[in-house]
Structure 1
Amino acid sequence: MRFPEHVDVAIVGSGPCGAAYARVLSERAPTASIATFEVGPLLADPPGVHVKNIASAQERARAQRLSEGPAPRDGAASTDTMDGYADDAPRLARPGTFLLPSGYRQPGEDGLPGAAMSSNVGGMGAHWTGACPRPGGSERIAFVPDLDDLLAEAERLLCVDAHAFDDAPFAAEVRKRLGAAIDAGRGGDRRVQPMPLAVRKDAGGRVTWSGADVVFGEPTRGNPNFSLHSQALVTRVLVDGDRVRGVQIRDMRDGTVHDVRARYVVVAGDSLRTPQLLWASGIRPRALGRYLNDQPQTVFAVRLRDIAPDPAAETDPRDKAEIVPQSGVSWVPFTDDEPFHGQVMQLDASPVPLADADEPLPGTIVGLGWFCAKDLQESDRIEFDDREGDAYGMPAMRIHYRLTERDHAAIEASRNAVRRAAEALGEPLDDAPLTFDPGASLHYQGTVRMGERDDGTSVCSPASQVWDVTGLHVAGNGVIPTATACNPTLTSVALAVAGARAIAADLTAERN
């Protein structure tokens, strides 16, 4: 039989947050039966591996195409995530992702033209850039008292390392110059520093990206009570009164429909499809799909000035699958006085194309990406259409999204801030910073947001349980209730840890 008839916990989605639930439950409730269901295919072994860890360009391209949902690009499409990143195309489509085909903008609104998703085992964790900064100031969730403990556990699960590239050429010089321009008046943990990254460095110095495979880890893969089911679309969460009772699944291989009974269900999709599934299931709290927010993103590029060649540097790392010693990623943390988050990336990690006129010294071309926190509005939302289905047959999405006057002011301030940072480093390679259309960050949040109490402005509790539906939890970036500028994955995994611990405690109490 392809699917189990009954499990203790059914997890919908195999990205970092779904994997975190499986991992924590495997460690804390090892006798519980757990099944994870993923609409997309398995890309490689181990399940959930990051595609950049696939050495073969041909196999890497195959994995990216498999991730691109119902209408993947043709086999000749680029595998380089930087291709087209800073050109003037109307919508940015990255390898391994697929754009929301319609409904992304309503008349007279800004919309989210960059809204994109991935369908594969490992979710977006198979394609992300691995940045895991901790939130600060108003980014933090004040009603989660053990947030720092949860963030530390998320760092363990993701194998976060802030020092993997301490020896990258010119990285220390980049941080020295940035610090001189930015650090005045900042607290110690908010000063320019190496970016914490979800990467692993082996004894030989090779660095690989953490995907959901790292979060699953051996405790999950070796758990005889855990199973992972790919190409399994969960079309409905089954509820009996105020208690969850399982999920309904469509087998994407043959179209058959199956019910799996479960005592607990965790919906750990992205910020678009998690509320979509709840809506399709008739679970529709007022805040569902609302408070949708993205992080307005501005990029710029410079060539470091006054830099001598490093005789120990290796060759240009472009087109290589793995991260190499030329890579350097620095972090300008968010503060409430300067409400931006800055990623400063060298060469292969840079968010902008390299200069073509001549071959730069490895490490001397630096891309700067500044992200803003969105002005949160209940009216920024996903509307679901029960009369029309998407390519998976789920309710079609209509995005309602507007940038406010405060947002436009923040974007302009971030453009000035990124220019000042660039001038501290070297000579700009462009005339002006480029601000992407909404959605390009892929950091959508808020659509199943957490709240301290059930007052109509949130979907779930601090343990990520959906209000009024016992046993139903949600996970992913959509749970984050605050306006953030930093990369959200570390925070969303931390919140998943809290939810998984709550389920594990309940299971343990029931069996004692």
Structure 2
Amino acid sequence: MSSNRYPTAVDVAIVGSGPTAAAYARILSEEAPGATIAMFEVGPTVSNPPGAHVKNIEDPERRSLAQRASEGPGAGAETVVSPGAVKSGARRARPGTYLLEDGFAFPGEDGLPVAAMSSNVGGMAAHWTAACPRPGGEERIAFLPDLEQLLDDAGRLLGVTSRAFDDAPFADVVRERLAAAVDSGRDPAYRVQAMPLAVHRRQDGGLVWSGSDVVMGDVTRDNSQFELFDESLVTRVLVEDGTATGLEVQDRRTGTTHQVTARYVVVGADALRTPQLLWASGIRPDALGRYLNDQPQVVFASRLRDVTAANIPPAADGALREQSGVSWVPFTDETPFHGQIMQLDASPIPLAEDDRIVPGSIVGLGLFCAKDLQREDRVAFDDDARDYYGMPAMRIHYRLTERDHEVLERAKDEIVRLGNAVGEPLDARPFVLPPGASLHYQGTTRMGLTDDGESVCSPDSEVWQVSGLFVAGNGVIPTATACNPTLTSVALAVRGARKISEELGTALAVPGSVTTQIRSPR
């Protein structure tokens, strides 16, 4: 019997299992149901159903084990348990993620010292905050006429709602106070509002956070033509005569290497590992890894004034809610930062110096800034050095420009103003998190309207140089965004998946066709 657990040929091979990779599997399952699909994830399955958010694991010990299993080479290392650890300058990953061992900064550069990744089925979506705001103004991709519909589709896949915290104590108070400070002169779409979140409440009041499992949905899980393979490291995309023909995968359980033939290959790892795989495969367009951008982040905290515990209805399960509401201050071109305002209950750290904390009354404010895009901000790869997985080592070159520092100063002034608007600040001044802290890395496989050397892929996410090879994830976003990027990157994945579905539909409709035959280069 063969020890190979992989198919020899499929219609579509998907690398990664985060929300954008899951979106490809979902759209293909819905719109090309006869297509065979194989998904490969380097990390283990840590939740049930596969790809589910670890916050949905009620037992704290099991949840902690799932987070540790997601940390790849960082498993066992100390992680951040409070903002205090970040403020003290400690270089630690958040639970469920791991940091680069080296190559994260170079002399004279800012680098991304806390650039982080996850290795598990579901990717970072098993650990994220689930915020899904829509891009606005210059954040939007001007050359996509169907962007609004794509964002609607992405919201459907992610299960986005703005109503999950309708009954949260003080949420209206927070938004009213923020609105009084912000809304004047703004278009209604850009005024203070509830944050759209990929989360819903059960009938018993418990929260259910969306992960890749929600994106895939029953239609994917019930698709007999779909298979997900965990602990599978894709080391190379196979290319012949300018066309993707499959991939090479290492079974991390046995150490054996196998080849899988595919009509289409989708690489949806993350904004660091997707360009790494392309580089390792000899696919090296000029823009690969370039225009890397993070979102400089400023944080602050306030206590709501004039509120009492008597106003708070008890949680359905008798316990304090993990969050009592998330508000959104949208990005505008005039104010190039996006506000995520979160009420915090039962904080694991002492946010105040006394015991007079009214649940829901501590408000954490965060402003994410849009980066000044630079071609030289990039992740490069060292063919003479290997990372934990045996892939070319990453080398990050990254600088904050004069404009970035100006925007950060504006954000610090603005967050103090907002903190005073909602209550009494707990700190004398705001804190700027170290570069990479946002986890919102973008641009490294950026989309473009034409193959002009400044983009890696087409508006359909197909790599310019390689027919049949698609890229997915936040790295595809070509604009400087301040808002959380997942909704946008899933929207772009929907567009790419439909392109494949259309082409597969034609092929599958041909009588007697063999769906796993290799296409001719276009």
* 2:4 corresponds to 1:7: no
* Paired residue secondary structure (1:327): strand
CA contact 1:299–1:351 (8 Å) conserved in 2: no
Q: Structure 1 237/203 Cα, relative in aligned 2: closer, same or farther at 3 Å?
A: same
Distance verdict in 2 for CA 1:69–1:95, change over 3 Å: same
Give the root-mean-square deviation of aligned CA atoms.
Answer: 1.9
Relative to structure 1, the CA distance from residue 387 to residue 486 in structure 2 (aligned partners, 3 Å threshold; closer, same or farther) is same
Partner of 2:61: 58
Distance in 1, Cα, partners of 2:45 & 2:22 = 14
1:378 aligns with 2:375: yes
2:519 corresponds in structure 1 to none
**SS of equivalent residue, structure 2 residue 198:** strand
Map residues 57-456 of structure 1 onto 2, 5 A cutoff: 57-73=60-76, 82=82, 84=84, 86-314=86-314, 324=321, 327-348=324-345, 354-456=351-453
Deviates more, 1:129-138 or 1:88-97: 88-97
Distance 2:150 2:458 in 1: 16
Cα distance in 2, alignment partners of residues 392 and 285 from structure 1? 23
CA deviations on 1:395-443 (whole Å, 9 max, x unpaired) are 0011000000000000000000111100101110011000011100000
Tell me which residue corresponds to 1:26. 29
**TM-score for the superposition, normalised by structure 1:** 0.96
2:45 corresponds to which of 42, 46, 58: 42
Seen in structure 2, the aligned counterparts of structure 1 residues 349 and 186 have a Cα distance that, compared at 3 Å, is farther
Residues in 2 aligned to 1:352 and 1:285: alpha-carbon distance in whole angstroms:
46
Cα distance in 1, alignment partners of residues 63 and 83 from structure 2 = 15
| Residue-by-residue CA offset, 1:106-136 (whole Å, 9 max, x unaligned) | 1110000010100000000000000000000
Structure 2 CA distance for partners of 1:479 and 1:367, relative to 1, 3 Å: same
Instruction: Summarize the Cα distance change of 1:352–1:451 in structure 2 as closer, same or farther, 3 Å threshold.
Output: farther
Give 1:204 deviation, angstroms.
Answer: 2.7
TM-score by length of 2: 0.94
Query: What residue identity is the alignment partner of 2:243?
Result: R
Structure 2 CA distance for aligned equivalents of residues 67 and 275 of structure 1:
21
* Contact 2:206/2:316, CA 8 A, preserved across alignment: no
> Counterparts of 2:197 and 2:348 in 1: how far apart (Å)?
16
Deviations 1:146-196 (A, max 9, x none): 000000000000000101101100000000000000001110110000000
Structure 2 CA distance for aligned equivalents of residues 100 and 387 of structure 1: 17
Aligned length: 506
Three-state SS of the structure 2 residue aligned to 1:161 is coil
**SS of structure 2 residue aligned to 1:224:** coil
Q: Secondary structure at the match of 1:310?
A: helix
Secondary structure of 2:87's match?
Answer: coil
- Measured in 2, the distance between the counterparts of 1:351 and 1:405 equals 37
Alignment deviations for residues 23-42 of structure 1 (CA, whole Å, 9 cap, x no partner) = 00000000100000000000
* Alignment partner of 1:497 is 2:497: no
Deviation of the 1:206 alpha carbon: 2.0
| Alpha-carbon offset, residue 354 of structure 1 | 2.5
| Cα pair 1:201 1:207 within 8 Å, conserved | yes
Task: Look up the equivalent residue of 1:221 and give its one-letter code.
Answer: R
% same residue: 63
Matched to 2:216, the amino acid is F
2: CA distance between counterparts of 1:140 and 1:350? 35
Instruction: Give SS of 1:19's match.
Output: helix
Give 1:198 shift.
0.3
Secondary structure, counterpart of 1:11 in structure 2: strand
- Aligned mates of 1:486, 1:329 — CA distance in 2: 14
Distance 1:160 1:353 in 2: 32
CA-to-partner distance for each residue in 1:374-408, whole Å, 9 max, x for gaps?
A: 00000001110001100100000110000000000
- Partner secondary structure for residue 328 of structure 1: strand
Q: Distance in 2 between matches of 1:85 and 1:476?
A: 29
Alpha-carbon offset, residue 259 of structure 1: 0.3
2:177 counterpart SS class? helix
Shift of 1:255: 0.7
Is the Cα–Cα contact under 8 Å of residues 345 and 351 in structure 1 kept in the other structure? no
Q: Mean alpha-carbon deviation: is it higher for 81-90 or for 178-187? A: 81-90
Query: Aligned-pair distance for 1:86?
Result: 4.4
Q: Conserved in 2, the CA contact under 8 Å of 1:105 and 1:113?
A: yes
Structure 2 residue runs of 5 or longer lacking an equivalent are: 510-522
| Aligned partners of 1:51 and 1:127 also within 8 Å | yes
Decide whether the 8 Å contact of 1:138 with 1:336 is kept in 2. yes
The residue matched to 2:440 in structure 1 has which SS? coil
Q: Structure 1 stretch 276-285 or stretch 196-205: which is displaced more?
A: 196-205
- Kept in 2: contact 1:200–1:208 (CA 8 A): yes
SS of equivalent residue, structure 2 residue 216: helix
CA pair 102-313 structure 1, distance change in 2 beyond 3 A: same
Contact 1:244 1:265 in 2 (8 A): yes
Greater mean alpha carbon deviation, residues 343-352 or residues 433-442: 343-352
The 2-side partners of 1:253 and 1:348 are apart by: 41
Q: Is the 8 A contact 2:302 2:423 kept in 1?
A: yes
Aligned mates of 2:59, 2:348 — CA distance in 1: 23
Residue type at the aligned position of 2:238: L
